[in-house]
Amino acid sequence: MRLLLVEDDRTIASYVSKGFKEAGFAVVHAADGPSGLELALGESFDAAVIDIMLPGLDGLSIIDEMRRRQIHLPVIILSAKRSVGDRVEGLHKGGDDYLTKPFAFSELLARVEAIMRRATASPETTTLRVADLDIDLLARTVTRAGQRIDLQPREFGLLEFLARNAGRVVSRTMIMEHVWDYHFDPQTNVVESRICRLRDKIDKGFERPLIHTVRGVGYVLKSLP
């Protein structure tokens, strides 16, 4: 997996590069607009992460030029600006997703994988499996170690989202957005409360817990070795 990263802030660039490399990506970094565009046009990538504010040429122009030349590389736009107008313009120009700084790296990784999945258009899976937990997306049933677990529709949605991102930390904001279509995190701990209920049903009575809390970041569904 080759990823193009166009970002002028050195700290953010090195932190993002490191993260993607650990996740198994080959990262090519450009620190300004023109060299970013040159790379995007000259080399082949699986995905790109492009900052909007860049020296030389802004990120939206890079995407514009890429799309004009029929390069349909999936792109995530990064920006410190957070107005809806920028978001709309970015997506209109052909960005596939948009992330506001500061962001959680886990969220960026999840979004990059999501747009790559969308781009490769892999056939939709109908079952998800994490350790001894089986989720049937069509029948909307959950079993663990062969034992049937009854879930409320919301709980099923939450578990499905965790399972689709199994092994990866998802933030409360991501959960609110993908499970409830709420684009903010209420002050009341609604996610924590839901996770708590879900944990009661999924992990209670089993030796190995699958739902883990990562302090300050979010939650992850995985089987710890």
Partner 1 sequence: MFSNLYPDLRRPLALRLTLWYAGIFAVSSALAFGVLYFIFVSVVRARTDDDLEEDIQEFASFMQHDGLERVRSEIAVETSGNPGDSGYQLWTGEGRLLAAGRTGPASAPAEGDEPFLATLGRSPRVRWIEGAIAPGYVMRIGQSLEDDDAFIADFRNGFLLTLAAIVLLGAPVGWFLARRALRPIEALTRTAVEIADGALERRVPVGEGGDELALLARAFNAMLDRIQALIEAMREMTDNMAHDLRNPVARIRASSEMTLAGGESTAGSTLEECDRLMDIIDTTLDIAEAESGAARLNMTPLDLSKLVLDACDIFKTAAEDHEILLTAHVPDACSLSGDQHRLQRVLANLIDNAIKYTPAGGHIRIALEDDGPRVRLSVQDTGPGIDAEDLPHIFQRFYRGDRSRSGNGNGLGLSLALAFARAHGGDLTAQSTPGEGSTFTIVLPRAR
Can you give the binding site for partner 1, defined by CB under 8 A?
A: 82-85, 102, 154, 180, 182-190, 192-194, 196-197, 214-217
State in angstroms the smallest separation of the CB of 78 from partner 1: 15
State in angstroms the smallest separation of the CB of 173 from partner 1: 9
State in angstroms the smallest separation of the CB of 2 from partner 1: 30
Residue type, 31: A
State in angstroms the smallest separation of the CB of 18 from partner 1: 16
Nearer to partner 1 by Cβ, of 57 and 190: the residue is 190
- Residue 49 near residue 27 (C-beta atoms within 8 A): no
How many other C-beta atoms lie within 10 A of the C-beta of residue 107? 20
Tell me the two tokens of residue 130. 């994490």
Residue 106: enclosing H or E segment and its boundaries? Answer: helix 105-120
- Residue 54 near residue 36 (C-beta atoms within 8 A): yes
- Residue 77 near residue 59 (C-beta atoms within 8 A): yes
Nearer to partner 1 by Cβ, of 103 and 206: the residue is 103
Nearer to partner 1 by Cβ, of 38 and 200: the residue is 200
Report the alpha-carbon distance of residue 23 to residue 222 in Å, rounded. 16
Nearer to partner 1 by Cβ, of 68 and 215: the residue is 215
